[in-house]
Amino acid sequence: MTQTLQQFLLNELRDHPEKYALVMMMADIATIGKLISARTNRAGLTDLRGLAGTTNVQDEAQAKLDVYSNDLCKNYLGSTELFAAMASEEEDEVVDLKNPGANYVIAFDPLDGSSNIDVNAGIGTIFSVHKKLDKVPAGDERQFLQPGRDQVLAGYILYGSSTMLVFSWGDGVHAFTLDVDLGEFLLSDAHVKIPDASPYYSFNEAYAPYITEKDQKALKIIRERTDKLRWIGSLVGDFHRNMIKGGVLVFPAVDTSGKKNYKPKLRLNYEAKPMAMLAEQAGGAAVSTDGTAIMDIIPRELHERVALIIGNKKIIKEAS
C-alpha cells in the first residue's frame, strides 16, 4: 500500500519524538514544493517565463520564477517559527527571520536550473538545514559557515515530468512523487541507492578546453568508465538522473578567457553541500577537484563557490 509523506512523517515522529522540528519543517518544505510546482506547471500561461530584469548578488540575471520562489521560501518559512535565519542564492545577505525561539537555519537555492524554465526542462529547489549556532546572532553569516557534515536535513524538489521530493535526515535518502490529483507526495523509494553500474557521465562538454590539465585527466578517466553523456543543465535534474540510473556529474573550475583564472560555478551552501549529503547517504561520493570531500569543507563565505564531482564512489576515487 502506498504511503503518503504525511504518514511517513507521522511514523517518524512516533518513533523519534525528538525529531519534531525536522518533521514539521519537512511538511512545510513539501508545501513550498507544491506551490512552486503549481507555478512551474503554469509558467507558460501566467507570464512567469523570462527574466525579472534584476540581478542577484552574484550578478546573475534573475528569472521571474527565481524571484517568486525566493520570496515564497522567505515568507512561508519565515512564518513557521522553525527557522532563525535563511540564506539564499538570491539574497545578498543572511535574512534574520526574527524567530527568537527557533533552533535551525536553512539555506536555499530557490530555483535551480533557471535557464531551463522557458524550455520546459527539469528545474528544482534545493535546501540545506543546520542547527542554529547559539553563540552567534541569528542573522550572522557565521550561521552558514558550517561544514556539510553538520547538516541535519538536506534535499531537493525536482519539477520534472513529475514533481519529486527527495531528502535525507541522516538515515538514507527518501524519495516521494507528487500525485497532483490527490495533492499529496507519495513514497516512491524509502532508501534510494546509487547503482554500482554507472552508465552516464554528465559534464558541460563546451567547457572541456577551458579546464585545468589535472581536471582534464580526471574527466578522461570518468569518460572511460562510463558509456554515455547526459546533460540537462540543471544540477537537480542531472544529479537525480545519475542517482537513480548511476553516473558521475562533473563541475570543474572553468576559465574561458585564456587567463588561467579558473573559477567554479556551483555554490557550496546552496548546491554542493546538500547534494553531497544526499550522494553520501545514497552510497555515493562528492568531492571537490582536489579530492576533498565536499561534506568536510568549512565555508569561508556565504556565497562561496566550489568545484564538484558527484556520484559513483568507485569512479570518483579512481579519478581523484
Site residues (CB under 6 A) for ligand AHG?
Answer: 60, 89, 109, 112-114, 204, 233-235, 238, 265
245 binds, among ligand AHG, Mn ion, none (CB under 5 to 8 A by kind): none
- Does 112 sit near Mn ion (CB under 5 A)? yes
CB-based contacts of 181, cutoff 8 Å, min separation 6: none
Asked whether 173 and 223 are in contact (CB, 8 A), the reply is no
**Whose CA is closest to 148, among 299, 320, 282?**
299
CB of 70 to Mn ion, least distance (A): 8
Kindly indicate which of the ranges 101-109, 156-164, 195-203, 206-214 contains the residues binding Mn ion, using the contact rule CB under 5 A: 101-109
65 binds, among Mn ion, ligand AHG, none (CB under 5 to 8 A by kind): none
- Does 91 sit near Mn ion (CB under 5 A)? no
CB of 37 to ligand AHG, least distance (A): 17
Subset of 30-89 contacting Mn ion (CB under 5 A):
89
- Does 109 sit near Mn ion (CB under 5 A)? yes
Strands (E), the chain: 51-55, 61-63, 83-88, 95-96, 104-112, 123-131, 153-159, 163-168, 174-179, 184-189, 200-202, 228-229, 247-251, 285-287, 308-311
Kindly indicate which of the ranges 12-20, 50-58, 109-117, 169-177 contains the residues binding Mn ion, using the contact rule CB under 5 A: 109-117
User: CA–CA separation, 143 vs 137, rounded Å?
Assistant: 8
Site residues (CB under 5 A) for Mn ion?
Answer: 89, 109, 111-112
